[in-house]
Structure 1
């Protein structure tokens, strides 16, 4: 006969929604569902606060999502400074601009994941969601062709069964839920041309702690984002394969890339590194099939972009929140729920497609081309154009409205005059931009028709 704990663990529980993963996408989804009066159980293998491999800049639109979820005051309690100014420099040109206002928010934030995720978990609990920590899902329950629950091991390693009409896999790029519903292979993907290395530094330069900065030097890209606890996130993205192999490769690649960007190296004077270099290599941007009978994949589990444009957390928060809003009124009707999930997945792909393409271009790991140099040159002289580029990052302006046909013609003519030795590069870059504009006008996201298929039995 089994122990008492094993007997209790064998009795199935029931709830309205199970959310696997309590970080950005999972907490956002749970908050919205709980606010709608639904019973939500969130399962996460971590104990909070805890860290995870992630960069974590939030443009103003991302801060808006924190506000709308009711988490902003808790996040601001971390002490992260309000980043009111953006700086971007490359090819001898420097663009500096205040962040534009997005529905009352005119600053960015960079908050390390232990503080950010703990604030989101606390907000989810305050909204009425039950968050169970140190619980690892290992199996999905199926009934009549639908996902109907999970089996997991709790913090005492007791196996438990939890049933619900909806299981949400907010468990990251290596999603267990995505794998178990056979949605692990993306239907649209592109490998990044950059690797990512980052570390934290003390930051005694109070006069610079309101500036989010990025520098380009040849194919190298580096950033300095002041964050909580008086620290600064310093990230570099050299071309893929920049590092060697073996112990110490990430450290060597990081040091070499920082040294190869003089302005970034200068920003770090007087700063002291705290902790080790972290790395993310072999990155692939994707869209996965993100809904099916009784399941959905918000956050990185369903859609991931290279960190070069710092969009992941904003999208996890926004589309987690929208998933909760879409699912809450439909949970009692399986057909209505499936329609709501398909509509949500379609909306995310449609709304994220332009930024996905823009991100993939910036992630190519190449030096700035003639057309991009002319864009920097123009934005350095024109404050309105500089502000417009920040609106793209905050998702209030489409990328196609920066290099629209009229501006493309003007910048191409200027680049032709100023790049006599690189006109072949110019022709290639202009052709690429024209393709991008055409995609923005003509291409529609591929409909996830396979989302209607039943999960494997």
Structure 2
């Protein structure tokens, strides 16, 4: 006796994952009049591993979605000033405005994600929590839906013109579409540990601060509920051992190696456990194919050292929806729109990808970087460009123009060891050349020319209501 087949639903789009990229996609599609179902294995409110600093560009995306008011109501302070300390120099700056937003915020994901889910629901999307996707449905090489298990153990099946995998770095949709292997990956030189502290009230809560000490990097970002997020990124694998207590030990030791961070936390009380993200790699995955797309970390991930993930998840989730809302009924036009969207994300993100990978090397500050700090500490325009890179109002190329690079090299030769400066200069030229070549080849704007799989593995052809083999 055969098992009963699941009831088949038909919608315009099914979104797997209800957090930043998923809610942004769903809300935008729903507002365009499309029928959208969002599935997430979690229930909300719930936390997720994330460092959750939002530069002005990220807050501007929240405003576009209609979520900024609800997020600000969570109580995180507006961060109006940034300080970066390194090699005895302090670079201070305000934040460049993005669409009228000239401040940053650090908002814990429990509240942030819940606010985004509510916005998606208010826009007309149906969000189903505690629903785990078990298989992806294909008709020849086209993605046509998903099968899932709800919290009562019932099997559901949703057919859609578009399946959106907004399900993170370990994406089920990416794996099913044979896109899990990145076409460009750069291992990080840093591990990441963070914890929350009850703020003492002895320090201004409108300041976001970063410290560099030797090869260590540490930050303090005031966030909601009177807490401060303290994150450290020591060199990857610096401490031996794994298992119970390792994250706590590595975190505590890294904080102790940064005297100014230790001083910032004096009088503060740790709240909760240390969270860890290790063995990280930044990457680009092929992010579109017939009937499917991967916004957010599922398709593109950058080391947390530059705090770009939430902004990009919101932005490219929104842009994905805007690109396809009008063509979901035309498969050929839909696939073309998806390809253009993917090309746009690659083109817009490649420079900050390179910049992030430099900061994630896990090394002590190099001579030219020290000279940049020294110069920016006395030059407000240079400091503003540096802050603007993080908020995507300036490009990294604006910081290292030929004239400015020459100026920094001359100053470095005046203040630092000649041999070290020349070695760094040669390395800088080599690094810049490799980045330029990567941008003109691998990251030329599309992944479709690469010698990587273009069809899902274990291809399954189905007809409505037919059982589909789980993968």
Structure 2 contact 409–421 (Cα < 8 Å) conserved? no
Match of 1:35 in 2: 31
User: For 1:155, which of 151, 155, 165 is the aligned residue?
Assistant: 151
Match of 1:118 in 2: 114
TM-score (norm 2): 0.93
**Residue 431 in 1 paired to residue 432 in 2?**
no
Structure 1 residue matching 2:235: 3-state secondary structure: coil
Structure 2 residue matching 1:422: 3-state secondary structure: helix
Shift in Å, 1:102? 1.4
Structure 2 contact 368–421 (Cα < 8 Å) conserved? no
Going from structure 1 to structure 2, the CA distance change for 1:139 and 1:442 (only over 3 Å counts) comes to closer
> 1:452, 1:86 → 2: CA distance?
44
What's the CA shift string for 1:183-241, capped at 9, x where partnerless? 00000110000000000000122641100000000100000000011101000000000
Match of 1:308 in 2: 305
Structure 2 residue matching 1:387: 3-state secondary structure: helix
Structure 1 residue matching 2:326: 3-state secondary structure: helix
> 2:162, 2:439 → 1: CA distance?
35
Provide the alpha-carbon RMSD of the alignment. 1.8
Shift in Å, 1:454? 3.7
Structure 2 residue matching 1:277: 3-state secondary structure: strand
Match of 2:444 in 1: 445
What's the CA shift string for 1:275-297, capped at 9, x where partnerless? 01110000010000000000000
What's the CA shift string for 1:58-115, capped at 9, x where partnerless? 0000000000010001111110100000010000000111112111001001000000
> 1:237, 1:102 → 2: CA distance?
28
Shift in Å, 1:384? 1.1
Structure 1 contact 292–452 (Cα < 8 Å) conserved? no
Match of 1:167 in 2: 163
Structure 1 residue matching 2:146: 3-state secondary structure: strand
What's the CA shift string for 1:400-451, capped at 9, x where partnerless? 1001111000001111222216235423443245426745985652522169
> 1:312, 1:167 → 2: CA distance?
21
TM-score (norm 1): 0.96
Structure 1 unaligned blocks of 5 or more = none
User: For 1:366, which of 359, 363, 368 is the aligned residue?
Assistant: 363
Structure with bigger helix share is 1
Match of 2:252 in 1: 255
Aligned length: 453
Structure 1 contact 31–69 (Cα < 8 Å) conserved? yes
User: For 2:201, which of 205, 223, 231 is the aligned residue?
Assistant: 205
Structure 2 unaligned blocks of 5 or more = 460-471
> 2:426, 2:324 → 1: CA distance?
45
Structure 1 contact 173–301 (Cα < 8 Å) conserved? yes
**Superposed structure 1 runs of 4+ greater than 6 Å apart:** none
**Greater displacement, 23-32 / 445-454:** 445-454
Match of 1:408 in 2: 405
> 2:436, 2:12 → 1: CA distance?
43
Alignment map for 1:305-384 (pairs within 5 Å): 305-384=302-381
Structure 1 residue matching 2:341: 3-state secondary structure: helix
**Residue 128 in 1 paired to residue 127 in 2?**
no
> 2:293, 2:429 → 1: CA distance?
37
Structure 2 residue matching 1:364: 3-state secondary structure: coil
Going from structure 1 to structure 2, the CA distance change for 1:40 and 1:61 (only over 3 Å counts) comes to same
